[in-house]
Amino acid sequence: MSLWCDKYRPKTFDELDYQLQQAELLQTIVASGDFPHFLIFGPSGSGKKTRITCLLHALYGDGIQSLRIENHEYETPSKKKIEITTIGSNFHIQVNPSDVGIYDRVVIQELIKTIAQTRQINSTEQRAFKVIVIVEVDKLTRDAQHGLRRTMEKYVGSCRLVLCCNSTSRVIPAIRSRCLAIRVAAPTVDEISGILKKVATIEGIQLPVDLANRIGEKSQRNLRRALLMLQSCATQKVPLTKDQQIVEPDWEIYLRDTARMIGEQQTPQRILEARERLYELIAHCIPAEVIFKGLLDELLANCDDLLKSQITQTAAEYEHRLRQGSKEIFHLEAFIAKYMCIYKQHMQSMAAGLDDCFD
């Protein structure tokens, strides 16, 4: 028994449900036997890695599914030992160099080079190249990205890179230009509800259309989350109803409550309470950008239209600073304080205006 999102994950191009045109394109590229480096990007839960698996399957066949975990150990120039885990089959290897933080350059240099330098012995039975999948390329340090540049060109005969990331904005142009960039857009709500229905029928559950649409919206067009939501709904109450409560991730609920708290009352004391809660979120490894976004969404929903642009601008400014700085909590707190200030001022001027009207 595994979760539905893993159970019904497509394994070949034929099983894909959306962006079929793109799938076809990929299929033709692979069928030609050779392809350039890929840079696959898109929001989370849109099926980037599913497409990579399909690609690998089309290249190498079922052998791609016998996976193993390997531990590698490297030594940095400063004699620090770093360990990294890779997942691989006989034909490909998947690595996340950003696991080792600032030492990712060492991984790029050592691991990828060694793989790239070894040629396949009998290229008649297999492809002439191996595939290296690098995930979270946008989290690589600049040094690591530069380390990747030359490797990509030099060993193009013996390996192909498939880079995977959420956004290309943090990938240096030099790498972007060396790859065929493929954007995997998030599925639309309709597509999601279609998939949900398909899954529900296989599982033998009646899924009302309204609920499917609601899940699609709640999941923020994240298919993985949508499937997880559906399953949790199904475990709660078996005949699914239209107005059934959808279980959301805990952190989202917690974040929303925090935002609501800030909206309710604007006092220094509230900032302190909010700080506690923000610390809690950060301690649960929720990225600060996600916190920022969640807060802003919720705060905007509950404030006057006149303020929206101003508050969004403030949020953008502090989010920018957050990326420049290192201590997330400072920036989040500054944003909250600013928001409270703007909101309170607006409310007071509104109240004054009302008083004027009555006078």
Site string for other proteins, 318-347 (x = CB under 8 A): x--x--xxxx-xxx-xx-xxx-xx--xx--
32 binds other proteins (CB under 8 A): no
Site string for other proteins, 183-202 (x = CB under 8 A): --------------------
> Please, which residues have CB within 8 angstroms of residue 113's CB and are 6 or more apart in sequence?
151, 155
For residue 160, the cross-strand partners are 131
> Please, which residues have CB within 8 angstroms of residue 188's CB and are 6 or more apart in sequence?
18, 221
**Whole-number minimum distance, CB 221 to other proteins, in Å?**
13
Distance CA 277, CA 256 (A): 11
- Kindly tell me which of 123 and 177 has the beta carbon lying closer to other proteins: 123
Checking DSSP bridges between strand 92-95 and strand 81-88, what pairing results, if any?
A: antiparallel
Q: What is the side-by-side strand order in the sheet with 180-183? A: 68-75, 81-88, 92-95, 130-135, 159-165, 38-41, 180-183
285 binds other proteins (CB under 8 A): yes
Residues in 203-222 at the binding interface with other proteins, rule: CB under 8 A:
222
Which tokens is 242 given? Answer: 């239209």
Which tokens is 219 given? Answer: 């999941």
- Kindly tell me which of 272 and 316 has the beta carbon lying closer to other proteins: 272
- The window from 65-73, 172-180, 195-203, 210-218 that contacts other proteins (CB under 8 A) reads 65-73
**Whole-number minimum distance, CB 239 to other proteins, in Å?**
17
Phi then psi for residue 155, to 5 deg, are: -105, 30
With contact defined as beta carbons under 8 Å apart, do 103 and 111 qualify?
Answer: no
231 binds other proteins (CB under 8 A): yes
- Kindly tell me which of 32 and 69 has the beta carbon lying closer to other proteins: 69
Site string for other proteins, 107-126 (x = CB under 8 A): ----x--x------------
Distance CA 40, CA 203 (A): 31
3-state secondary structure 262-325: HHHCCCHHHHHHHHHHHHHHHHCCCCHHHHHHHHHHHHHHCCCHHHHHHHHHHHHHHHHHHHHC
What dihedral do alpha carbons 260, 265, 269, 274 form, nearest 10°? 10
Residues in 87-106 at the binding interface with other proteins, rule: CB under 8 A:
87, 90, 94, 96, 99
Query: 52, 140, 199, 212: which one contacts other proteins (CB under 8 A)?
Result: 52
Query: 12, 27, 44, 76: which one contacts other proteins (CB under 8 A)?
Result: 44
- Kindly tell me which of 191 and 248 has the beta carbon lying closer to other proteins: 248
Query: 268, 353, 358, 359: which one contacts other proteins (CB under 8 A)?
Result: 268
266 binds other proteins (CB under 8 A): yes
**Whole-number minimum distance, CB 248 to other proteins, in Å?**
8
Helix (H) or strand (E) holding 81: strand 81-88
Residues in 134-163 at the binding interface with other proteins, rule: CB under 8 A:
135-136
- Kindly tell me which of 90 and 167 has the beta carbon lying closer to other proteins: 90
177 binds other proteins (CB under 8 A): no
**Whole-number minimum distance, CB 26 to other proteins, in Å?**
16
How many positions of this chain bind other proteins (CB under 8 A)? 83
Distance CA 141, CA 147 (A): 10
Query: 3, 180, 301, 352: which one contacts other proteins (CB under 8 A)?
Result: 3
48 binds other proteins (CB under 8 A): yes
**Whole-number minimum distance, CB 176 to other proteins, in Å?**
20
Cβ count within 10 A of residue 275 = 15
Helix (H) or strand (E) holding 171: none
**Whole-number minimum distance, CB 219 to other proteins, in Å?**
9
238 binds other proteins (CB under 8 A): no
